[in-house]
Structure 1
Amino acid sequence: MDGRHMQIGEVADRTGLSLRTIRHYEDVGVALPTARSQGGFRLYTDDDVARLLVIKRMKPLDFTLEEMRDLLTVLDELRSPDTGADARAGLAARLAAYRALVEERCAKIRARLSDAERFSAELAAELREHRA
């Protein structure tokens, strides 16, 4: 991280999230800006952007806000040098459970996508048949 702060517009550009969505994640407490300017503008760091990108990846997997909070806490605590070995073992187990959940949800998305692609191919064949 280069230590510089970004305003919300730049963060929106970097993450592909809308201003409204970023503000919502702040309001619900899953992604708080690191600081505020003297004028009250939200100021974000690269770490804040990384956190928002993690949240963005959780959203299409239907994570609830509580699951988001919990997983982000697990990640934060695992990355903290202050977390002891015993706590790390429990956190790693929780992370493994989330990883399994993500794999399960990805498999469901892949199956839905496969069905959608088959349907698209069927419609394309139907269209070719009626154009001939």
Structure 2
Amino acid sequence: MDGRHMQIGEVAARTELSLRTIRHYEETGLVVPSARSQGGFRLYTEADVARLMVVRRMKPLGFTLDQMRELLAATDRLDANAPLDGEERERLLERVRGFEEAARRRVAELRTQLARAEEFAATLHERLENATASAR
């Protein structure tokens, strides 16, 4: 990481999240700007952007804010330089594995929904084609 700070507009563009959404995530404690400018503007680092990307990826899978907070707390602890005893490390890894499994299940559910939606759209297209052809 280069230690460079970005203002919220650049972070919004990079994460494809609205300013309002980023501020909401700040209010709920999911992400906290790493610094403030002399003028009081929020300043973010690459680590903050990475954190927001985790949240952005969890949202469409239906994870709640509390679940997002829980996963981030576990990964923060695993990534921290502080030593972990074996039991705590395994507990944290198990928690992350649980989120991975839940994400995989949700992706499979979404794939099924998408396949059904595509079938429906194809059926409508076919009906329109037939109706157009019979009107000629």
What's the CA shift string for 1:7-29, capped at 9, x where partnerless? 00000010000000000000000
Map 1:1-132 onto structure 2 (within 5 A). Answer: 1-86=1-86, 87-132=88-133
Greater gyration radius: 2
Moved over 3 A (4+): none
Give the SS at the match of 1:32: coil
DSSP-derived class of the 1:55 partner: helix
CA-CA distance at 1:83 after TM superposition: 3.6
Instruction: Name stretches of at least 5 consecutive residues in structure 1 with no aligned partner.
Output: none
TM-score w.r.t. the length of structure 1 is 0.97
Secondary structure of residue in 1 paired with 2:53: helix
RMSD of aligned alpha carbons: 0.8
- Tell me the percent identity: 54
Classify the secondary structure of the residue corresponding to 2:6: coil
One-letter amino acid matched to 2:29: G
- Asked whether the 8 Å contact 1:77–1:83 carries over to 2, the reply is no
1:44 alignment partner AA: Y
Structure 2 alignment gaps of length 5 or more? none
1:49 deviates by: 0.3
Q: Deviations over 1:33-83 (max 9, x none)?
A: 001111110000001001001000000011111100000011111111214
How far apart, in 2, do the equivalents of 1:56 and 1:89 lie?
26
* Counterpart code for 2:32: L
Question: How many residues were matched structurally?
Answer: 132
